[in-house]
Structure 1
Amino acid sequence: MPKTKSPSYTAPALEKGLDIIELLSRQEVGLNQSEIARALGRSVGEIFRMLMVLQARGYVAQDPLSDRYALTTFIFEIAHRIPTIGRLTAVAEPLMRELTRKINQSAHLAILGDGGVLVVGQIDAPGNNIMSVRLGARIDTWQASSGRVIIAFRDEETVERLLAEEPLPKGMTKAQIREELAGIRASGSEIRDSFVIRGVVNIAAPVIDHSGEAIAALTVPHIERVNDQIGFEACKVAVIEAAANISRSLGWNGGEDG
């Protein structure tokens, strides 16, 4: 959830609508009208009017059996209309599909968002056994290979700000994280055990645009199958190559200017 500041101006009706959207974004199965009102400290009447407008505009939908309201995919569609994200995903998707077919592993594309890493692209492996991250998932910045790889290829001001703002992993210091970021930058990728699932190894590489800084990361949560046709090392090379191809399509010159 984005960090809030004390506003100079207020728009109560707009704030109520945004409060509902933000509340529902954290719910797996939605909430009914009374639950929403209780959670937000509002009257049922206030919430009813807001829900009717949000439903009419396509932001929320009501389950006719449970009467619960949940967000639709409309907000996600709007997010993809943002030129930078739209262009990024349009360029990346065919290359990601080619990659997942080649290595039989799932792949996702993530960017830095407010308060975490946001998954904006996801392609499942073509086989029966898959390991994937949900499209639209938000992950803690420092506990995601995607976030660490992006930050490793950003300016010092961004690194310093995120070290100050985002919660550090338990037992980790800023100095340790800086050392790891330097290693990622030196190698051009991050290969490490998953932060959350045993047996999964993250392969993450930066997606760099014309500015020379990372705007996203391509990550494969690699799982080892008994009859894999492509080995881990070949898989790693393919992921790094795919990220470089996406970068070149976004105007990156491959570091030719130094």
Structure 2
Amino acid sequence: MSETERAMTLDEDEGADAGSRRDYKVPAAEKALDILEFMAARNEDVTQTELSLGLGRSIHEIYRVIQLLEGRGYLVRTKADRYRLSLKLFELAHMHPPVNRLVDSALPVMRELVGNTDQSCHLVVLREATVLIVLQVESPLPMRYSVALGSHFPVLETSSGAVLLAALPPAEREALVRRILASGEAGATRPEIDARLAAIAELGYEMRASLAVDGCTNISLPVRDHMGATVAALTVPYLPQKRARFSRESVLETTRAAASEISRALGAPEQAGRNRAIRLPAAQEQKR
């Protein structure tokens, strides 16, 4: 019997007990994932000592893993011997076929949208309990709204997130709402959340004052795939200004048409069926 066959046999024996395969430990991989997830949640560069303290592991435990991640291009070391995440995780996420196809289909439509609205726009997908910006096209006007590509925000802080949340199947939506409420980051009561999601489901979009930027109105619509499932949200953060030629209402209609055009490019039927959202695992998301 070869070493590979012996290893497979051992794995099968270990898996005889329920859940043992799921609990199988791979220490080096766990350390690498711990480092990536820890750094993804921070905005500033970190030292090895800060990593060690934050993870509750000794420097000796993580030193070689840090070197490996740096060598493979996942970490970047600064001149001050501090580390930050590179864009490699973000690049890997965009190599994922559904996201890649989504971006390719949306980009030409979004470029036309900014020209027809004088407003910036961005495309958003779900990432666990946050939303991730996967595409951004800026307004041609000198004063514009810009959001960093690859950044993420709490679901209910954005209209994009509310649109995506409203589109989830009931069981998934309920689980995510409960998780958001438990985190204390909802910013609203359960009845307020339910009313907001019900309004989106009835209207098919959300247009409301931004919860993050004063004077900005979010206009967000769902983008659907060939199964009629909601896979992304197309959002225009409307900024009123003298040089803007279009009203909020006209921008809403133009954005609605753009979302429909992207959906058609993805093969969406005229009548959308059940909803689900593209949800990126944490390891595929990269903050800027």
Question: What TM-score do the two structures reach when normalised by structure 1?
Answer: 0.90
C-alpha distance 58-257 of structure 1, shift in aligned 2 (>3 A): closer
Flag the structure with larger Rg. Answer: 2
Alpha-carbon shift at residue 204 of structure 1 (Å): 0.2
C-alpha distance 49-257 of structure 1, shift in aligned 2 (>3 A): closer
Question: In structure 2, what is the Cα distance between the partners aligned to 1:57 and 1:134?
Answer: 25
Alpha-carbon shift at residue 160 of structure 1 (Å): 1.9
Q: Runs of 4 or more off by more than 4 Å in structure 1?
A: none
Q: Does 1:219 align with 2:235?
A: yes
State the superposition RMSD in angstroms. 2.0
Q: Does 1:39 align with 2:39?
A: no
Residue identity matched to 2:260: A
Q: Does 1:155 align with 2:149?
A: no
Tell which deviates more after alignment, 247-256 or 9-18.
Answer: 247-256
- Residue 24 of structure 2 is matched in structure 1 by 9
Q: What are the ranges of 5 or more consecutive residues in structure 2 without an aligned counterpart?
A: 1-19, 275-288
Question: In structure 1, what is the Cα distance between the partners aligned to 2:273 and 2:42?
Answer: 47
Q: Does 1:123 align with 2:123?
A: no
- Residue 88 of structure 1 is matched in structure 2 by 102
Alpha-carbon shift at residue 171 of structure 1 (Å): 4.0
Question: In structure 2, what is the Cα distance between the partners aligned to 1:171 and 1:95?
Answer: 34
Ranked by relative contact order (alpha carbons within 8 Å, sequence separation 6 or more), the top structure is 2
Question: In structure 1, what is the Cα distance between the partners aligned to 2:259 and 2:49?
Answer: 47
Alpha-carbon shift at residue 170 of structure 1 (Å): 3.3
Question: In structure 2, what is the Cα distance between the partners aligned to 1:16 and 1:155?
Answer: 34
Question: In 2, are the aligned partners of 1:208 and 1:252 still within 8 Å (CA)?
Answer: yes
Question: In structure 2, what is the Cα distance between the partners aligned to 1:116 and 1:107?
Answer: 18
C-alpha distance 160-14 of structure 1, shift in aligned 2 (>3 A): same
Q: What are the ranges of 5 or more consecutive residues in structure 1 without an aligned counterpart?
A: 1-5
Question: In structure 1, what is the Cα distance between the partners aligned to 2:238 and 2:107?
Answer: 19
Question: In structure 1, what is the Cα distance between the partners aligned to 2:120 and 2:139?
Answer: 4
Question: What TM-score do the two structures reach when normalised by structure 2?
Answer: 0.81
Alpha-carbon shift at residue 206 of structure 1 (Å): 0.4
Structure 1 residues 117-156: Cα deviation after superposition (integer angstroms, max 9, x where no partner): 1111111212221112221222112222111112323322
Picking from 218, 226, 229, the partner of 1:202 is 218
Residues 1-258 of structure 1: matches in 2 within 5 Å?
8-64=23-79, 66-167=80-181, 169-173=186-190, 175-255=191-271
SS at the partner of 1:105?
coil
Question: In 2, are the aligned partners of 1:151 and 1:214 still within 8 Å (CA)?
Answer: no
Residue identity matched to 2:173: V
% same residue: 36
